[in-house]
Structure 1
């Protein structure tokens, strides 16, 4: 929008040049210069946030170290938030931020209620497959509450329901993504959230819900470019796209 506004201002200024005296023309040129400077400033901000020509990142709930979170200042912001995890697995999970970021909930969830999460960025890599997961043990285990098999993140907003049998308290909410086209990578952002109203315990939640799928992080499991990742254990909430459905065989087959 800022780009379109800047362009409209430039066009208006250029048109005015043909209808004014030399003195007025100088004013118009000054306006043009200021407009161009404004556009450059806005574009620089977009670049600094990694949104002008970036991969994808979770934009809501705000993940730890998000450059989009207005409460994060200076060194608290990761301007490479949209980058994938290291192929060595050295920053798995959550880019390691769950270990060194002070806990602050950016969202509060009530069990049984529906919410949405959003992503931002430009390089969707023709989609892929994503999962939404919760961890109650500081990132040691992540359990899937929803899977988007195929076509993710081609939409920028995804609805989900917090299950009624979740545990209550502090949790990590994770968005993970396996891109269809490009390098074999795993993307993962994590947010601190507070969950209430659940009927389960941490142990029962871990027993009922499947593990988050993990690949491309030095764990011996890799996805294949151009072939959709189909989760063997997608959980209770599942959506399909990209020609996939519930009958699509799991891929890759990783133990």
Structure 2
């Protein structure tokens, strides 16, 4: 009897984890990610590890977490992406929900302002599978300024609960020394009762939220140039 109960509890626990586990970055590392090759927590930080990085930050009914979930990541080397480079991100997928709409964005001010630089509507991760890793390429803008930044992948799923995912990674951009990055502000759909609703694709008669994505506001973010001293200091900080 005890063995049966233990097996039942394990099965129910597995189903619960699958229900809560959907998608997140695997590479580049998500903030406070639990993967072995991600920046490791420092003394007293082990309780801050995110073992549920694949969960949505919100649904249309409620906001579960702030965008990016965490105000900072653990200290450690950041991946360096060159302006104009195409990067093959690796996504850790629990449930792919028949794909959805992706927005890639950069923030140079720790999440105060975001600039969407690439979109993939309706078919983003639509050919993935549950429980596997998936390669998802994106291209850093050729005019992206140099500096430490947050890379964010926003994802609205096609099927299931109406959810928003936000997978953030601390990165360094190797581009122009100073400049302006322009694009649109991200659409935060299915993120609390006051947000735009994107319905399930199969039930929406072809309505995938185009009118909401088309209404995104233009945004430009300026990054001041840095001196050689500041560049040297930043390299030291990134390697510690």
For this pair of structures, how many residues does the alignment match? Answer: 184
User: Which residue matches 1:134?
Assistant: 106
Residue 76 (structure 2) pairs with residue 109 (structure 1)? no
- Greater fraction strand: 2
User: Which residue matches 1:190?
Assistant: 168
Q: In 2, distance between residues paired with 1:52 and 1:135? A: 30
Cα drift, residue 69 of structure 1:
4.3
Residue 121 (structure 2) pairs with residue 149 (structure 1)? yes
Query: What value does the CA root-mean-square deviation take over the aligned residues?
Result: 2.9
Q: Unpaired segments of 5 or more residues in structure 2?
A: 1-9, 129-133, 202-206, 219-240
Matches within 5 A, 1:1-255: 54-70=21-37, 71-73=39-41, 74-87=46-59, 88-89=62-63, 91-95=65-69, 97=70, 99-154=71-126, 155=128, 156-198=134-176, 201=179, 204-205=180-181, 208-218=182-192, 219-226=194-201, 227-230=207-210, 231-232=213-214
Give the TM-score of the pair, scaled to structure 2.
Answer: 0.67
SS of 1:75's equivalent in the other structure is: helix
- Greater fraction helix: 1
Cα drift, residue 54 of structure 1:
2.8
Cα drift, residue 101 of structure 1:
3.2
Larger RCO, structure (CA 8 Å, separation 6 or more): 2
Deviations 1:115-163 (Å, cap 9, x if unpaired)?
A: 1112112311111111111001110121112111122223421222211
SS of 1:94's equivalent in the other structure is: coil
Q: Unpaired segments of 5 or more residues in structure 1?
A: 1-42, 236-255
Give the conservation status (yes or no) of the 8 Å contact 1:62–1:69: no
